[in-house]
Each structure stands twice: as structure tokens, then as C-alpha cells.
């Protein structure tokens, strides 16, 4: 059997594919449009692996997707492909609507068309797993309980609104057509191969280059942090034994303010890569203009996943963050390749 992974050259998609090839006997077809966020270097260790094939393409290309589904007799589609960066969605949201909403719609239609024509056994085994975000639940107050799967959707950014729309499409394709779907809503991921536009890799990169560590507003916004490999294991568990049509929240129970996160990165760097002048990386922390509509707090109640499927995260924030910082220190060539012209344009636009 073979699975199709979309957005496979991105941060979470590539971590998922690498883990899958390590742990499963099923082959993987990876597809990715290779936008600025897609990086084939993430998958380079699979270059000569006969159990993995990469295809450059758009999830919105129905003919391409349908042909791939048929050619490789795909038994599960995992949809990681998306425009994923909130700040970019604030500057310009067109691509977010096109990929996250229209792209997901087209992918669902390709999957439905393929699934409809499968014979009974293959039809029964087919799954469509959609990767989404805790941001769809909107911002929580400090005293609110963490978001659970039955909470209402209240997205606040163009990014989260587009993800919320895609979740609704997935739900509707189950309710209306009985397409066997799951949706996984995850907290903030961190770990290897994350593009340095996101808080943690951006701060590691800037710290090492002696640049400011930009904290939006007062830095008291809270996120729930999940090590990417724990997200991948949750997705594998849902695919294996999830209940069709259900939504599962995934979180690390690691609520931290942004300031705490950046300070912890500094503490780890001070130990692993002390500055030659004897000073701390703390000195580089700089408060900058806030993100418009900045959500104050996200927190995820992952008890359904733990109770129903027995999943637990393996990493604490401290162990996961240490591994992450070490990975970036040991993979400076990866970072140097990523920090290309397009990346510099973004930094200029956002932080100047």
C-alpha cells in the first residue's frame, strides 16, 4: 500500500515523511508545490530510497492528483500542504485562500472521485487526513479552559480563517459524501527543518548572527508548544485507529509566553554556543511593533487523543527545545541554504 503526503517538503510534512519511511513498510508519494517554504533538501536523505517518490505539483491540480491516486493505488491522503505563516497572511492573503481553501476543495474532490470508483475492500480502507491548527478556535482568556474539539470556531487572522474554512470543507465532505476523513488540529510545532520565519528558528538564527530577537508587543502572548515528532506520532495514531469523521486536537501541554520561549532559547544557546564576548544572548531581545489582531492565548486540550487512542507526547518543552537548538547548530549548512534572497526580502518587509 502507498500513502500520498501533500506539502511534503515543508516543515511538518518532511518530518512526517522521514519518520514514516523509518517506521513503516508502506511506500510514500510526496507532492509539494515548492513555494518559498518547500525545501527538497529536507527530503534529501531519501534521494535513492525506492520506497519514496517526490512529485512537484499543486494540490489544486485535480488531474495530476487523480492520476497519482490511481497510478499508485493510494490508500491514504495526508494533507499538510498550506500557506502557514500568519504574518504573511496579514501582508497578502490571496495565496492562503487559493491553497488552503480552494486547494483543499480540489484535493477533496480528487479524493472523492478516486474513492467512489474503488472496489469495496479498497474503499473501506481509504482515508483522507487533514492537518489543521489550534488557531481556528481563536484567542483564549487566561482563565479559559484549553480548547477542545467541540468548541466553536472563532478564527481571527486571514491564515486561521482559511484553515477554518478548509476544516469545514473536510467535515462537509464526510457528512455529505461519507468520504472517510479525519481532521487533526495541532498546537504550535517546533523542531528540525522549520523555516526561519517562525519564532523559534528565527530567534536561533538571529541570535547566532548577533541580530535582534524580535518580540511582538509585550511578549506575553501564550502558545502551546509541541515537538514536531510528537505531532507526527499523533497523526500516525489517528491514521491507524482514529474514528472516521472525527476531529482530534494535538498539543504538548506546554503553555509558554513568547518571552519565556525566547529566553529559554537564549539559556540553551548560552550553554551550547557561548558568545565570544562572554555576554548573554538575552541582550539581543528587542521589543517590536505588535502583530495586528495578535491572538493572546492558544491552549489545546488533547485529552480525547490520549483517552481514545492512547497517544502521549514524548518530549517536554525543555528536552524538545534542546534537541531543536542542537539540530540548528549542527545543520548550519541547511540554514545557510534556506536564508536565500526571498528570505531576505521577507525580513526586510516585516522587520524594517
Tracing cell 558568545 back to the chain, one arrives at 275
Pick 158 or 242: Cβ nearer ligand DAU? 158
- What does each C-alpha distance from 259 to 87, 200, 302 come to in angstroms? 18, 11, 24
Stretch that binds ligand DAU, among 51-59, 96-104, 208-216, 307-315 (CB under 6 A): 208-216
The correct pick among 79, 100, 139, 258 for binding ligand DAU (CB under 6 A) is 258
Residue 253 and residue 325: Cα distance in Å, rounded?
A: 20
Pick 133 or 166: Cβ nearer ligand DAU? 133
110 three-class SS: helix
Q: Is 332 a catalytic residue?
A: no
Q: Is 159 a catalytic residue?
A: yes
Backbone angles phi, psi at 140, to 5 degrees: -105, 150
Binding to ligand NAD, residues 4-43 (CB under 6 A): 6-7, 9-13, 32-35, 37-38
Residue 258 interacts with which of ligand DAU, ligand NAD, none, CB < 5 to 8 Å by class:
ligand DAU
Q: How far is the CB of 320 from ligand NAD (least distance, A)?
A: 13
C-alpha cell at 114: 478516486
The correct pick among 32, 109, 135, 301 for binding ligand DAU (CB under 6 A) is 135
- What does each C-alpha distance from 68 to 3, 7, 64, 76, 107 come to in angstroms? 11, 15, 6, 12, 12
Residue 221 interacts with which of ligand NAD, ligand DAU, none, CB < 5 to 8 Å by class:
ligand DAU
**HSE value, Cβ hemisphere, 13 Å, CA-based, for 36:** 16
Stretch that binds ligand DAU, among 129-137, 240-248, 268-276, 325-333 (CB under 6 A): 129-137
Per-position x/- string for 191-220, each x denoting binding to ligand NAD as judged by CB under 6 A, each - no binding: ----x-------------------------
| Pick from 255, 252, 254: nearest CA to 314 | 252
Q: Is 135 a catalytic residue?
A: yes
Told to check if 252 binds ligand NAD by CB under 6 A, we report: no
Binding residues with ligand NAD: total (CB under 6 A)? 31
Spatial neighbors of 150 by CB under 8 A, at least 6 apart, are none
Stated as kind and residue range, the H or E segment containing 310 is none
Pick 170 or 215: Cβ nearer ligand NAD? 170
In our burial notation (b when 16+ CB lie closer than 10 A, e otherwise), range 305-328 reads: bbeebebebebebeebbbbbbebb
Residue 216 interacts with which of ligand DAU, ligand NAD, none, CB < 5 to 8 Å by class:
ligand DAU
Q: How far is the CB of 6 from ligand NAD (least distance, A)?
A: 6
Told to check if 229 binds ligand DAU by CB under 6 A, we report: no
Residue 83 and residue 35: Cα distance in Å, rounded?
A: 9
C-alpha cell at 169: 470543507
Residue 153 and residue 112: Cα distance in Å, rounded?
A: 25
Stretch that binds ligand DAU, among 105-113, 211-219, 316-324, 327-335 (CB under 6 A): 211-219
DSSP H helices, the chain, are 11-23, 62-71, 86-91, 94-96, 104-116, 120-125, 158-177, 199-208, 228-241, 258-272, 303-309, 317-330, 332-338, 341-351
Pick 135 or 167: Cβ nearer ligand DAU? 135
Which residues contact ligand DAU (rule: CB under 6 A)? 84-86, 133-135, 187-188, 198-199, 202, 214-216, 221, 223, 258, 291, 298
Which residues contact ligand NAD (rule: CB under 6 A)? 6-7, 9-13, 32-35, 37-38, 58-60, 80-84, 99, 103, 131-133, 163, 186, 188-189, 195
Catalytic residue ranges: 134-135, 159
Amino acid at each position: 500500500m502507498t500513502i500520498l503526503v501533500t506539502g511534503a517538503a515543508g516543515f511538518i510534512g518532511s518530518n512526517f515523511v522521514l519518520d514514516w519511511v523509518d517506521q513503516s513498510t508502506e511506500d510514500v508519494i510526496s507532492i509539494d508545490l515548492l513555494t518559498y517554504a518547500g525545501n527538497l533538501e529536507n527530503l534529501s536523505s531519501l534521494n535513492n530510497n525506492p520506497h519514496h517518490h517526490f512529485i512537484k505539483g499543486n494540490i489544486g491540480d485535480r488531474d495530476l492528483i487523480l492520476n497519482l491516486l490511481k497510478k499508485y493505488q493510494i490508500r491514504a491522503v495526508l494533507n499538510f500542504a498550506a500557506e502557514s505563516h500568519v504574518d504573511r497572511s496579514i501582508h497578502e492573503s490571496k495565496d492562503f485562500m487559493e491553497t488552503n481553501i480552494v486547494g483543499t476543495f480540489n484535493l477533496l474532490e480528487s479524493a472523492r472521485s478516486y474513492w467512489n470508483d474503488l472496489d469495496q475492500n479498497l474503499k473501506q480502507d481509504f482515508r483522507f487526513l487533514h492537518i489543521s491548527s489550534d488557531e481556528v478556535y481563536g484567542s483564549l482568556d487566561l482563565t479559559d479552559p484549553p480548547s477542545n474539539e467541540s468548541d466553536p470556531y472563532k478564527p481571527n487572522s486571514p491564515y486561521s480563517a482559511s484553515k477554518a474554512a478548509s476544516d469545514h470543507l473536510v467535515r462537509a465532505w464526510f457528512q455529505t459524501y461519507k468520504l472517510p476523513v479525519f481532521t487533526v488540529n495541532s498546537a504550535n510545532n517546533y523542531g528540525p527543518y522549520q523555516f526561519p520565519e517562525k519564532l523559534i528558528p528565527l530567534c536561533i538564527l538571529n541570535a547566532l548572527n548577533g541580530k535582534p530577537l524580535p518580540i511582538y508587543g509585550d511578549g506575553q502572548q501564550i502558545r502551546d508548544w509541541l515537538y514536531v515528532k510528537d505531532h507526527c506520532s499523533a497523526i500516525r495514531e489517528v491514521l491507524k485507529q482514529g474514528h472516521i469523521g472525527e476531529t482530534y486536537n494535538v498539543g504538548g501541554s506546554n503553555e509558554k509566553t513568547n518571552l519565556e520561549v525566547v529566553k529559554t532559547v537564549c539559556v540553551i544557546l548560552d550553554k551550547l554556543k557561548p558568545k565570544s564576548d562572554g555576554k548573554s544572548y538575552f541582550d539581543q531581545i528587542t521589543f517590536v511593533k505588535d502583530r495586528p489582531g495578535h491572538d493572546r492565548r492558544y491552549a489545546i486540550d488533547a485529552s480525547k487523543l490520549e483517552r481514545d487512542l492512547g497517544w502521549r507526547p514524548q518530549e517536554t518543552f525543555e528536552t524538545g527545545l534542546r534537541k531543536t537548538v542542537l539540530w540548528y547548530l549542527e545543520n548550519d549548512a541547511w540554514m545557510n541554504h534556506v536564508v536565500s534572497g526571498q528570505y531576505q526580502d521577507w525580513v526586510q518587509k516585516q522587520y524594517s
